[in-house]
Amino acid sequence: MSGSQPKSTFNSDTEVHITYDDQQRINQFARLNAKYEDFKEDIQIKKNDVQNLEDAVNELMLCDDDEQIMYKEGEIFLYKSVSNAQNSLEDYKTELQNMTQNIEKEIVSLKEQIETLKAHLYAKFGSNIHLENDEE
């Protein structure tokens, strides 16, 4: 018996040459992906804030119109009429919804850039690189 080992067709130590440009693309992918995740989190926070504002407006509908209520603006509380408070809440809700729409547009742009980078990197490195999010 000879002491030879069976030849394996799989070589787990395959060396992949990464150029400076490849590293820059990988770094750009990581930055874009982090920004994408931050935007997704920001949208969720804003949607929760919008829901809270809707709840507050609904609660104000139960109050008398001539009643004065405490309303927080910035760091202080002011007395406002119910209708003024409702208007302020509606304005802020609209502002949050507009910000959410703008962030969603940014997300679409980021997603396109991320997909382009992923396609390029997977084409070059194949299974030697992992760019997928675990949640997707």
pLDDT digits (tens, 9 = 90+) for 90-119: 999 999 999 999 999 999 999 999 999 999
pLDDT tens for 117-131 read 999 998 888 888 888
Q: What is the pTM of this model?
A: 0.72
Three state DSSP letters for the chain: CCCCCCCCCCCCCCCCCCCHHHHHHHHHHHHHHHHHHHHHHHHHHHHHHHHHHHHHHHHHCCCCCCCEEEEEECCEEEEEEHHHHHHHHHHHHHHHHHHHHHHHHHHHHHHHHHHHHHHHHHHHHHHHCCCCCCCC
